[in-house]
Amino acid sequence: MREMAGGRPGLITKTGLGTFVDPRQQGARQSPSTEEMLVELMRIDGEEWLRFKPFPIDIAFLRGTTADEDGNVTMEQEAVLGEMLAMAQATRRARGIVVVQVKRMARRGTLPPKQVKIPGILVDFVVVEPEQRQTYATDYDPSYAGELRVPLSEIRPLPFGPRKVIVRRAAMELYPHAVCNLGAGISTGLSTVAAEEDLLDSVILTNEQGLIGGAPITGRDSGGAQNFAAMIEQPSQFDFYDGGGLDLAFLSFAEVDAHGNVNISRFGDKIVGVGGFINISQNAKRVIFSGTLTAGGLDVQWENGKTRILQEGRHRKFVRSLEQICYSAPLAHERGNSALFITERAVFRVGDKGLELIEVAPGIDIERDVFAQMDFGPAIATDVHEMDARIFAPQLMGIKDETVARERRHRSQRIAEWYGSRA
């Protein structure tokens, strides 16, 4: 949107190479009837880049909290800032119409200028809806807007089950001061587990909507956060992500092939969309993918620390081929970035030859419960071992001390040297 707002020839980026948005694959086209090239492959200084072409905008529907009589809009009660300004600017340049919904009106000249997020010069119509909700599920929560911080006791713990087991294992990948992204799906539960284990002050959790720090919210309120340190605009958050700012990314997966490639966007005629998944997964230094081994009716229970599969899922998630590639494991591996796949019964990593089994849950038979539920047989690590028993017990894991004790990984050699000189 910012490129379009500035009249530039689209977005030029490496993000998306090797995925379905690459024109050597589908070029981001979802239908064979789409003949227009939406994405162009370019070479600049001998390197491959993608150009996402601009498109016209007829109308933009935006959202704020308060508007004055001149159309200036503030967002003091919103859970995210999104990309409202860039969308309004891009629409104005395209000679489109900008409509903003707000909760209330204010007299001309009474809004604090520094709080105005959409200037009135960009707004054509204001619609007042006094009953607008802050999120899909919540009318208004002041902590979502950063007006207050809630006690950690108010962050409801996850019920014990497959989701909690998976994100508990994912939480064991945290280390001090790691800057993390939490994606949609199972991975959003990591913030809740981090709160339970008193780890929120030891790491920096972020989400693609522009929240930095605190605990990203799960469920139908997802996108917001509580106790966050900063709320920035979404395009700026993605600049940080695309520039390699993430140490860890916790994402969900829908389908995985033997190479470690991931599909989350399309399944037959069902188009889910990719959101910021490609930006995050392709540029983070390490990606932790979470999901159950199978889906659709899966019933798992734990007795005395042992995993029992009572009912296997109807749909396999580790498959021979993907309809769309949203994460290119070979490209990430080539760049030196690593990936881990965590399920409720096994953990895999991406090695030189593709997916490799490295951990198995207690009580799980590898052949019957893992390999027989996959369309391919992954390699088995020479040091394969059982997953940590604390993951499968209802009580707290107590991993704070060991997490805090892990070595801090400085983001640049200069910073590491600076700290080292003052040790």
HEC per residue, the chain: CHHHHCCCCCEEECCCCCCCCCCCCCCCCCCCCCCCCCEEEEEECCEEEEEECCCCCCEEEEECCEEECCCCEECCCCCCCCCHHHHHHHHHHCCCEEEEEECEEECCCCCCHHHEEECHHHCCEEEECCCCCCCCCCCCCCCCCCCCCCCHHHCCCCCCCHHHHHHHHHHCCCCCCCEEEECCHHHHHHHHHHHHCCCCCCCEEECCCCEECCEECCHHHECEEECCCEECCHHHHHHHHHCCCCCEEEEECCEECCCCCEECCEECCEECCCCCHHHHHHHCCEEEEECCCEECCCEEEEECCEEEEEECCCEECECCCCCCCCECHHHHHHCCCEEEEECCCEEEEEECCEEEEEEECCCCCHHHHHHHHCCCCCEEEEEEEECCHHHHCCCCCCCHHHHHHCCCCCCCHHHHHHHHHCC
* Catalytic choice (3, 78, 196, 208): 208
Q: Give the closest residue to 218 by CA, choosing from 175, 247, 250.
A: 250
Decide: helix, strand or coil at residue 274. Answer: coil
Residue type, 392: F
Query: Please, is 350 exposed, middle or buried when counting C-beta atoms within 10 Å of its C-beta (0-12, 13-18, 19+)?
Result: buried
- Measured in degrees and rounded to the nearest 5, phi and psi for residue 390 equal -65, -25
- Residues 384, 357: contact at Cβ < 8 Å? yes
**Residue 107: CB atoms within 10 Å:** 8
255 as an active site residue: the answer is: no
Residue 208 pairs with which residues in a beta bridge? Answer: none
List, by residue number, the catalytic residues. 208
